[in-house]
A = this chain, B = another copy of it.
């Protein structure tokens, strides 16, 4: 059987790479991925044949990885964060569903999850994702803005904590501000907001601000933005979303005082 591992390599730093991912990297001879993410693997990528593709070449990258595996090379398709969350895994399945080449039928696929950027960012500031949350990509390259707009509105009305992926980039400047306008209909301007960039990587940046003060971060920053809900608090250096234990605490207090 020919193996294709689709690996989520975590937010960046190898200190978050799972042993399963580590073992799969050890087993493979060929790596397919964006050059940046192959470089982040450091010594784990040494001695392998590197097949680098660029941003926007996801379909070609997935086909390449399938072809490599079909040809008998134990192959790892590298995706940063979690390969299943805006990562490469689904691109492979979309390709297989569309055009199942006979040689691809012999490829055994394994998806290996990784710690996503939102989890690494959340852990750095406390626990903002501790209650019900939504994850939305602000990239309108493949999803129409009307769909994204509606999702922001629904997430906002449902009082979900919201994580925006692909919030700002070189070519994406107005989406985050439009999202802010939608959110302000249902949320207080004091709502805590976290802007995270390059978490666990060189040049890590974290900013805690509020919904009212949310400005577009400098262009060229592929940022992750977390918007709190009505239960999110920013106290000292921590941001966390209550699971409602304060109600229990209040009950304890009132029992004590009786």
Contacts and interface: CB of A to CB of B under 8 A. Distances in A.
Interface of A: 8, 10, 14-20, 23, 58-59, 82-87, 89-91, 93-99, 109, 111-116, 119-120, 122-124, 126-137, 142-143, 147-148, 150-151, 153-155, 157-160, 233, 235, 238, 240-249, 252
A157 B159 contact: no
A123 B112 contact: yes
A96 B120 CA distance: 22
Copies of this polypeptide in the complex:
2
Contacts of A10: 18
A24 to B, nearest CB: 10
A133 B161 CA distance: 12
Contacts of A87: 127, 130
Q: Is chain A's binding surface mostly helix, strand, loop or mixed?
A: mixed
Contact of A122 (B14, B18, B84, B131): B84
Contacts of A252: 59
Interface centre among A19, A127, A131, A238 (most CB of B within 10 A): A127
B93 A244 contact: no
B83 A111 contact: no
16 contacts: A58-B245, A59-B248, A83-B123, A85-B130, A89-B130, A94-B243, A96-B238, A97-B233, A98-B246, A99-B249, A109-B238, A111-B123, A134-B158, A142-B243, A151-B158, A154-B157
Interface centre among A59, A124, A131 (most CB of B within 10 A): A131
A7 B90 CA distance: 29
Contacts of A120: 113
Interface centre among A122, A124, A130 (most CB of B within 10 A): A130
